[in-house]
Amino acid sequence: MIKKLALSIVILTSSLLASNEVNVYSSRHYDTDKELFKTFEKKSGIKVKVIQAKDDALIKRMESEGANSPADVFITVDAARIERATQKGLFQAIESKLLTNVVPEKLRDKNNQWFAITKRARIVAIKKGSSALETLETYEQLSDPKYKGQIMVRSSSNVYNQSLMAGMIAHHGIEYATSWAKGVVANMARDPKGSDRDQAKAVAAGIGSIAIMNTYYVGKLATSNESDKEVVSKVKVFFPKFENGGTHINISAAGVAKHAKNKENAIKFIEFLVSKEAQEVFANGNFEYPVIKNAKISPLVSSWGELKEDNVSINDLGKYNKDAVKALDIAGWK
- What integer is the mean pLDDT of 14-25? 73
> pLDDT for 86-117, tens place per residue?
999 999 999 999 999 999 999 999 999 999 99
**Contact between 300 and 219 (Cβ < 8 Å):** yes
Residue 210: what pLDDT?
A: 97
- What integer is the mean pLDDT of 251-270? 97
Q: Give the chain's domains with CATH numbers.
A: 2-119+250-302 (3.40.190.10), 120-248+307-331 (3.40.190.10)
> pLDDT for 190-209, tens place per residue?
999 999 999 999 999 999 99
Residue 5: what pLDDT?
A: 41
> pLDDT for 297-319, tens place per residue?
999 999 999 999 999 999 999 99
Check residue 20 and report its DSSP letter: T
Chain CA centroid to CA 1, Å: 54
Percentage of residues in the chain with pLDDT exceeding 70? 94
Whether the per-residue pLDDT at 259 is higher than 60: the answer is yes
Whether the per-residue pLDDT at 17 is higher than 90: the answer is no
Residue 256: what pLDDT?
A: 98
CA distance 161 to 212: 9
Whether the per-residue pLDDT at 2 is higher than 60: the answer is no
- What integer is the mean pLDDT of 279-292? 96
State whether residue 94 is helix, strand or coil. coil
Torsion sign over Cα 188, 192, 197, 203: negative
Quote helix, strand, coil % in the chain, to nearest 5: 50, 15, 30
**Contact between 313 and 106 (Cβ < 8 Å):** yes
Residue 7: what pLDDT?
A: 41
Q: How many CA atoms lie within 13 A of 275 on its CB side?
A: 14
CA nearest to 164, candidates 108, 125, 120: 120
- What integer is the mean pLDDT of 159-164? 95
Residue 48: what pLDDT?
A: 97
Residue 266: what pLDDT?
A: 98
Residue 13: what pLDDT?
A: 42
